Structure 1
Amino acid sequence: MTRLWLRHEVRSTERRAAVVPTDAARLVAAGHQVTVERSPQRVFPTGEYLTAGCTIAPAGSWVDAPADTYVIGLKELPDEPAALRHRHVYFAHAYKGQRGAAGLLRRFTAGGGTLLDLEHLTGEDGRRLVAFGYWAGYTGAALAVLHLRGTLEVPLRPGSRADLDIALATPGERPRVLVVGALGRGGRGARAACAVAGIQPTSWDIAETSRLDRPALLAHDILVNAVFSTGPVTPLLTEADLDDPAGELRVISDVTCDVTSDCNILPVYDRVTSWQEPARALRRGERPVHIIAIDNLPSLLPWEASAAFSAELGRHLLDLDSAPWQRAARRFRTAVKENAHA
């Protein structure tokens, strides 16, 4: 029997669930013991998990779960306990030099636990097996268009795709949009949101970015970055580009939010934005440029994003000894060694 524990998300704006009730029921039927913590902001009511056959536990009680439990979440862990002894499945963002990564890895070392980072749950070809990319791209492009039109309501509040699409389809300016990473999950989502807004975006992928035409990039009103990078790359933009008097760029939507990483492809800003202030000015004056960089974008559409993600993750939770999980564990062990010698 495998013990799975769906934890409460400590971030107040996080409405998503890594496993939705219908997929939890499938895991229970397959013989897994599934415990779900109560969570006031999760979009799926606790009662639906109870009906699915799950055990319900108080928020934060995973710290006392049996040592062989797989603790499943999405975003960051709380600061305590200092030593992590379980196997944790979530997006840790800890292998590319991000802020706080070294301290997190030391917590796992101290407790003897294992990080199975969902960002590194991959197939033999190296492609990610589970991701929120499509809905991150969709919401990232949508917010950029609405902000440029002056119709973005803040603070942001979670809703449904239908509500967002109504706002996008309302007649308004049709800006020139460039989607970079257009063929990936995030890029497909961004292009879909543009279509709802009546916009035909320019679509760039590897071929176009390998011979980057910055004047062409700067000729757009909106840049949506959906490039997932695993190593240092040539920046899409520099500070000098933002000051180019010939540039037309007004809004940058960074879907990937690698701002504290060595792999940051947009080194023109130094911190993410928030639901309270989704767009922040990078340049003011006659031609202001704003950045949108919210690191849990898909939580604005929590039901749609969770359902799609859970369908992917649920299949892999059925067999936690499979090759993708073994690869994720090896990547963790490598990161721990690198951290110890840093």
Structure 2
Amino acid sequence: MSQTHIWLRAETKPQEQRTALTPKGAKALIEAGFKVSVEQGPQNIFNIEQYRAMGCEIVAQGSWPQAPKSAFILGLKELPEDSFPLVHKHIYFAHAYKDQAGANDILSRFKQGEGALYDLEFLVDENQRRIAAFGYWAGFAGAALGVWAWANKQLGKTALPPVSSFPDQEKLLNEVSALLAQCANKPNVMVIGAKGRSGSGALGLAKALQLKTIEWDMEETAVGGPFEQVNDADVLVNCVLVNQDLPPFVTLSSLDSAERNLSVICDVSCDPYGDYNPIRIYDHCTTFNNPTIEVLSPPNSLHLIAIDHLPSLLPKESSEDYGQQLVPYLASLHDLSLPVWQKALDIYHQKTTNL
């Protein structure tokens, strides 16, 4: 049997410092008999020498198109925009299965090149639960930014200045705690999707800052929105992963109330380009450089945060957590008939059949 080859490509999305494979994870795969190639790149939170020390082959940034055809190309976020056919088997978050902008273009490239996509979002176990997710840290970071923006507004500051990654969660908590200490009171934080991975992260942040929470999940949202109750919270963190159309949780009309306390929404789920977004009050993602959108103007302004790579705020911890979940499954890539891989491939074929 030939050696299974995993090629970790360098991320190109601005400020994306996370990785799908840490040096520790690479070492585990090499010890299991895999070949691991790692592209050089300035964004990875881990130094390239850490990978070299684990026995990885170090290759040039962006060289994955020239990788052996049998190699699995592993990444996190979107591929750089281009038009050449994709001949490899790719593992990453393609964001191409929910009618997002550009979805047909990327799927057509796979079909033309006879490659394959094993989308990380659709790698599931026998209970249809994702085998690996950044959800906890997305919720944690999203709630932190939401509370940070709320505090800034209370203090008469810009809702959120440009932000960048923190070396660890303690530094992030210290930053937000220092702002809250200057405020006359603390915010009530409402989390929709409180029982999920992202929701647990948002609640973890609130607990760390000793904030009061309002916790909603499927039972509370079953009646269908929009929900006037969200106006009673100070910060709303939406953590619901939606795979079907449903009434929106909020609308501009439901939010346009003089009695509204709600000052900041963080849409952790962040899917403004799809048809299933329950927070239908914005049409583009925000970024670390421009973190907020002013959805409603003063005197009772409402700001929204919709950053689609929130765990990058804490890239080291989120990558380590994700890697611990993913590596045991990567170690089974030599057998693509296993359900986790076969299901992902079936979804890919379903989405590309009619292209």
TM-score, normalized by length of structure 1? Answer: 0.96
Aligned with residue 349 of structure 2, among 333, 337, 341: 333
Amino acid at match of 2:46: F
1:100-121: CA deviation from partner (whole Å, max 9, x where unpaired): 1111110101111101000000
Q: Which residue of 2 aligns with 1:19?
A: 21
One-letter amino acid matched to 1:154: P
Q: Distance in 2 between the 1:153 and 1:252 partners?
A: 12
Counterpart CA distance in 1 for 2:255 and 2:100 is 25
Q: Which residue of 1 aligns with 2:209?
A: 197
Displacement of 1:81 in angstroms is: 4.9
Select 2:280's aligned residue among 264, 267, 277. Answer: 267
Cα distance in 2 between the residues matched to 1:246 and 1:154: 27
Stretches of structure 1 that go unaligned for 5 or more consecutive residues are none
Aligned-pair identity in percent equals 38
CA distance in 2, matches of 1:95, 1:26: 31
CA contact (8 A) 2:248 2:280 kept: yes
Q: Secondary structure at the match of 2:206?
A: helix
1:308 paired residue number: 321
In structure 2, how many angstroms separate the alpha carbons of the residues matched to 1:336 and 1:57?
31
1:230 aligns with 2:243: yes
Query: 90, 94, 111: which one pairs with 1:92?
Result: 94
Deviations 1:228-276 (A, max 9, x none): 0111122111121121333222111000111101111111100011111
Alignment partner of 2:196 out of 184, 187, 209:
184
**Alignment check: 8 A CA contact 1:168 1:196 kept:** no
Q: Does 1:218 align with 2:225?
A: no
Q: Which runs of 5+ in 2 are unaligned?
A: none
Shift of the alpha carbon at 1:82?
1.9
Which residue, out of 104, 108, 118, partners 1:116? Answer: 118
* 1:154-174 deviations in Å (ceiling 9; x for gaps): 321111211011123332431
Q: What residue in structure 2 maps to residue 323 of structure 1?
A: 339
Q: Pairwise CA RMSD of aligned residues?
A: 1.3
Task: Read off the aligned partner of 2:343 and give its amino acid letter.
Answer: R
Counterpart for residue 276 of structure 1: 289
Query: Offset at 1:212?
Result: 4.8
CA distance in 2, matches of 1:314, 1:292: 31
Alpha-carbon distance change, 81 to 6 in structure 1, aligned in 2, over 3 angstroms? farther
**For residue 156 of structure 1, what is the aligned residue in structure 2?**
163
Counterpart code for 2:127: D
Q: Give the distance between the partners of 2:135 and 2:25, measured in 1 at CA.
A: 20
Separation in 1, partners of 2:127, 2:256? 40
- Contact 1:138 1:193 survives alignment (8 Å): yes
Give the structure-2-normalised TM-score. Answer: 0.93
Indicate the SS of the match to 2:353. Answer: helix
